[in-house]
Amino acid sequence: MNNQGSNKSLLPWITTVLMVTGIAVLAALYWNRNVTVQDVQVNSLYYTDYEQVKQAADIPMGIKPDSLNLDAVVQRVEKLDYVRSVKPYIEPSGDLRLTVAERQPIALLVNGSDRLYVDAEGVRLPILDGKTQDVPLLYGYSATSGDTIKTEEFVQVRDFLMRAKIDGFGWTTISEVVYDETDGVVALSHENGVKLLFGRNDFQTKLENWKAFYTDVIKVKGIQSMRQVDLRFTNQVVTREI
């Protein structure tokens, strides 16, 4: 008797689930048969124009969503210089929405008269009219379009620049960066071009030491007499003065 009662109480729920499932199937069939892509929507971007994305996506208007190869769309859009990644989504209306993440320059590569930006992944980026960025100058690398920079030396420079950007103070007080085989990461200060030796690794501590030294010593003594500040050692700052 109890089992029969339980089965009867489940019948309305089973019926409801079947009805909902049936409606969903019918809606899906209707969507697949009647809905077409009529527009491409893109989030707000700085370096990449909407028309560039739309043209690269190359979506035939009127195509049915289930006939659209989204992987191919992503691959085409990701070929644009400043596009790092693309996430596609088909709206219930059928419109294609592309969420694009752009690459962000962390330095300006300088090699003679050649100039190119580079991002944290070592990808070289063109300088676009009216869209320049205030980033440190980076020497020692080709500034012409080519393969992604993947050397250990660049990883050190990249880690330093990313930490300096997070730190804030380091980012605003450094103008130029280079990698030296002996001294590791070497930077020049914005003020008076003082040579700053940061070495390798543990850049958070070294940048904190630079901020403390600047606050406690340079602000009091002045930077004019400073020629070099060696921050490679955790517990001391070694200076060379004029």
Tell me: the pLDDT tens digits for 148-179? 999 999 999 999 999 999 989 999 999 999 99
- Give the angle 80-84-88 at the CA atoms, nearest 5°: 85
What does the DSSP 8-state code read for residue 178?
E
The predicted model gives 6-20 an average pLDDT of 56
Residues forming beta bridges with residue 229, ordered by sequence position: 196, 239
pLDDT over threshold 90, residue 231 = yes
Amino acid found at 13: W
CA-based nearest residue to 205, from 232, 239, 168 = 232
Q: Which domains does the chain have, with CATH numbers?
A: 37-102 (3.10.20.310), 105-241 (3.40.50.11690)
Q: Residue 67's pLDDT is what?
A: 84
Helices (H) and strands (E) in the chain — how many of each?
Answer: 7, 12
The predicted model gives 94-122 an average pLDDT of 95
> Band of the pLDDT at 19, cuts 50, 70, 90?
low
> Band of the pLDDT at 57, cuts 50, 70, 90?
very high
- Sign for the pseudo-dihedral over CA of 162, 166, 167, 170: positive
Query: What predicted TM-score, i.e. pTM, was given to this entire model?
Result: 0.82
pLDDT over threshold 50, residue 82 = yes
Q: Residue 9's pLDDT is what?
A: 60
Q: Residue 225's pLDDT is what?
A: 83
> Band of the pLDDT at 62, cuts 50, 70, 90?
confident
Q: Can you say whether residue 142 is alpha, beta or left, with left for phi > 0 and alpha for psi between -120 and 50 degrees?
A: beta
Separation between Cα atoms, residue 28 and residue 92, nearest integer Å:
10
Q: Residue 111's pLDDT is what?
A: 94
Q: What is the pLDDT of residues 198-217, one digit of tens each?
A: 999 999 999 999 999 999 98
